Chain A
């Protein structure tokens, strides 16, 4: 089973809203990732959690706040986003850091 699930599938939010994206995997993977993908572009790495600790933050604005409550869950808290933050947000997981990454279906976010 190589399934990574993400909720919600779609999200529309205003610039003053607070929302959260959720990612879950039950493969026993110990590394989890958040990527941002604009249309027709490759994914851009945002955050990496390794063994539930934040190991990489690719200079992401503070309006994006990741959280890893346990080894199976990864959240991305959103606050005061800008329209240019509209994108597909992908979660991925891997057995260990930088092993083969398996991606979820993504959350398509629209910021109005």
Chain B
């Protein structure tokens, strides 16, 4: 069975500082990894994905994520946080065979001015 863990329910960061939202996964075989963001009362917006290749994946709105196979992690990062980045972030994984997408519990990011 595959699983995703987002160990922090909430991350607080000051505007202009770098941010990291953590994600670790467990899956048989090679993982397909995704990050989504959800603003209040909205659907999920796709940010980025890792399928294969370069371990550093760049996505929308200046976000990037680093795939680390040995640590089974896929942390989301941004060099300089904006207040508008405040939202709920979900990490998700599926395995190569195409099983269902499994979401982590979500991390609320609060960026303060």
Known: A90-B43, A101-B46. A42 touches B94 (CB 8 A): no
C-beta contact mask, B96-113 vs A, less than 8 Å → 1, else 0? Answer: 001111011110100000
**Contacting A45 at CB < 8 Å: which of B41, B46, B100, B104?**
B100
7 contacts between A and B (CB under 8 A): A88-B41, A97-B98, A100-B46, A102-B46, A103-B45, A105-B43, A106-B42
CB of A100 within 8 A of CB of B104, answer no
Q: How large is the interface on A (under 10, 10 to 19, 20 to 34, 35 or more residues)?
A: 20 to 34
Tally inter-chain residue pairs, CB-CB below 8 A: 49
Tell me whether B49 is interfacial, beta carbon within 8 Å: yes
Within 53-87 of B, Cβ neighbours of A (below 8 Å) are at none
**Contacting A101 at CB < 8 Å: which of B101, B104, B105, B106?**
B101
A42-B90, A90-B43 given; 20 more Cβ-contact pairs under 8 Å: A41-B105, A41-B106, A42-B103, A42-B105, A43-B103, A45-B100, A48-B100, A56-B100, A88-B41, A97-B98, A98-B94, A98-B98, A98-B99, A101-B101, A102-B46, A103-B43, A103-B45, A103-B46, A105-B43, A106-B42
In the A-B complex, list the 7 residue pairs whose CB atoms are closest, starting with the nearest: A42-B103, A103-B43, A103-B44, A105-B43, A98-B98, A106-B43, A104-B43
Main secondary structure of the interface of B (DSSP, over half): strand
**Contacting A2 at CB < 8 Å: which of B46, B100, B101?**
B46
Within 62-112 of A, Cβ neighbours of B (below 8 Å) are at 88, 90, 92, 97-98, 100-106, 108
